[in-house]
Structure 1
């Protein structure tokens, strides 16, 4: 069956390890779009630092962001769906991070908030620069009027392993996912890339069998298993590869272009 929608993770999938969208990958996506396939970027990033890649390719449509918590229209930047999380339940996680020295940020659809943006450590500042994110100062809860999309803890892999092990013993009111070696995300319990992709596909009348999803990490598994063709990058953990139907080349070997050429443009 013809692929009508291509859902693509961004970091570690669409981009290489230098956070670059290569010319070959870009040209391949444009060709697939001209052939009739809709391109939907599905990222742990927010809309503000996901939409620019669509604009760079001259593509309109939708992006699924914050690991599925926020779906936004590219041209208008309108939020068309939001799995808003309960901010009051975050207090124990904020306290844990502050007492254990774990960096965290709180995300609305288009805002990213931290305790002290002017005093960020170099590693943290470089991380935000790589993701094209500009952190703002976290206000008091009473002043936070926007719906919340995601809570993220960031740190060395050993620290994140310990945080994940600890939080896994809690009675979590949220969906917790590992979106990278250095990131743990908390979201609305129903939020995921797969759930958001399902909602978007149903709204557009597209069947799962008409969707190809490509990703490289644990937060991509729900969309890889929802899509009729789930493709894992070669740089994925083994559990992600096992959840996919196919494995393509790594992000540094332009695996997205290779997968689209094989499963979309060659049929």
Structure 2
């Protein structure tokens, strides 16, 4: 089978724990792209801190990234928003109230911007997280009134300790869900449009490109990757995935720190570096 599209989660999958693409994996992706296969990053990140990795590979001129866990698809060359799932922001108010009441940090995302409630009251861990974004030119802004936002709201992201988020997820699961709630990492919960997911965004892009699911390989590591692993003809989990994600995948490869993505590119695409 020649795969026409390879969908890759970034953190915990393509990137090692130093947030790098290893030289071996980078060279393999470049070889595959040169053969005509489209490489698409599918990530919880924003365009501004995902597209630079495509630029690093030299694959950005005609590429795409699926960002905000599927809430938007962006052309990496032009930064045009190809597709996005807009939320009803007023419906987020109860979730925001809960976070304020329980001292849990949250941010509000449009396609390219991140808004925070009160920068001076951010916990140290949140400040450190946003400090890492600055190297990509991504800065937070103070959340204005909804009517003052010029772009649609795509995601509310909640950041806290695993214990805090376990309780938050449990509490919110009892609410009538107007949103797709995803545990996108050990320290994150994301709220998005009810139809937004990596799988639905990948399907929309594939249909636009006239690519059948069986011509797609997807590799991921967490619960927010399940929809794309199940949509793709070949869904692969890296070894550092939770057991439920491994069980849902067609195959399990080595961890993100052991070139798991490269091993699958070598096995199924025949590249070797």
Following superposition, the deviation at residue 35 of structure 1 comes to: 1.8
* Superposition RMSD in Å: 1.3
1:7 and 1:214 in contact (8 A); partners too: yes
The equivalent of 1:236 in structure 2 is 241
Gapped runs of 5+ residues in structure 1? none
SS at 2:154 equivalent: strand
Q: Please, which moves more after superposition, 93-102 or 19-28?
A: 19-28
2:157 equivalent to 1:155: no
Partner Cα distance (1:262, 1:134) in 2: 40
The equivalent of 2:8 in structure 1 is 8
Partner Cα distance (1:251, 1:213) in 2: 14
SS at 1:206 equivalent: coil
2:183 equivalent to 1:178: yes
2:202 and 2:228 in contact (8 A); partners too: yes
Following superposition, the deviation at residue 125 of structure 1 comes to: 1.6
* TM-score in terms of structure 1 length: 0.97
Matches within 5 A, 1:129-148: 129-131=131-133, 132=136, 133-148=138-153
Cα distance per residue 1:73-101 (max 9 Å; x no partner) = 00000001011111010000010001110
The equivalent of 2:35 in structure 1 is 35
Partner Cα distance (1:35, 1:245) in 2: 25
Aligned length: 267
Partner Cα distance (1:29, 1:117) in 2: 39
* TM-score in terms of structure 2 length: 0.95
Partner Cα distance (1:232, 1:56) in 2: 24
2:123 equivalent to 1:121: yes
1:233 and 1:251 in contact (8 A); partners too: yes
Cα distance per residue 1:16-39 (max 9 Å; x no partner) = 112122111111111111122100
The equivalent of 1:100 in structure 2 is 102
Partner Cα distance (1:97, 1:224) in 2: 31
Gapped runs of 5+ residues in structure 2? none
Matches within 5 A, 1:199-238: 199-238=204-243
Partner Cα distance (1:130, 1:41) in 2: 19
The equivalent of 1:189 in structure 2 is 194
